[in-house]
Homo-oligomer: A and B are copies of this chain.
Amino acid sequence: MTKTKAVSAWAALLTARALIVDEVERRLAEAGLPELAWYDALWALERAPAGRLRMHELASQMVITRSNISRLIDRLEAVGLVARERDAEDGRGAFALLTPAGRRKRADMWKIYGPTIAKLFDDQLSQEEAEAVRACLLRVIAARMRA
């Protein structure tokens, strides 16, 4: 209930994330690349079977609202990184489908994003520490998912 430490683990997490995201965004913009939100969407699609996801699936993976995903896909579609596809089995549903251009763009972004995270985050931790942090956070995620 009361703050026990000057800076809690949670507060440190928020600050670390904000600082790093800020720097990643800066470097992406500098390289003439889109913002991180686009990367997240493209990467979620690339991981998915057949490179496509239903709108609500994509939204939940990105922890974003459903209406927001419609407009995000609008913008990605407008520049040809994603295509919309109606679901043949359920006429209500729509897929977002990664295009070859979208696949290439994600790879280009990773060339900036990956090394930046490696330098600012991973390089600050030993292998064991990174693994421990990862395990802790996966447990936090699992607990939330269960709820």
- Residues on A facing B (Cβ under 8 Å): 1-3, 5, 7-10, 12-20, 22-23, 63, 110-111, 114-115, 117-118, 120-125, 129-134, 136-141, 143-145
Contacts and interface: CB of A to CB of B under 8 A. Distances in A.
Contacts of A123: 143
B144 A23 contact: yes
For the complex formed by this chain, how many copies does it contain in all? 2
Nearest to A20: B144
B141 A125 contact: no
A95 B15 CA distance: 23
A12 B122 contact: no
Contacts of A144: 16, 19-20, 23, 120
A139 to B, nearest CB: 5
Contact of A134 (B1, B2, B7, B125): B7
Contact of A1 (B7, B8, B115, B124): B115
Contacts of A137: 9, 12-13, 15-16, 133
B140 A16 contact: yes
9 contacts: A2-B114, A10-B117, A10-B122, A12-B141, A14-B17, A16-B144, A20-B144, A22-B63, A121-B140
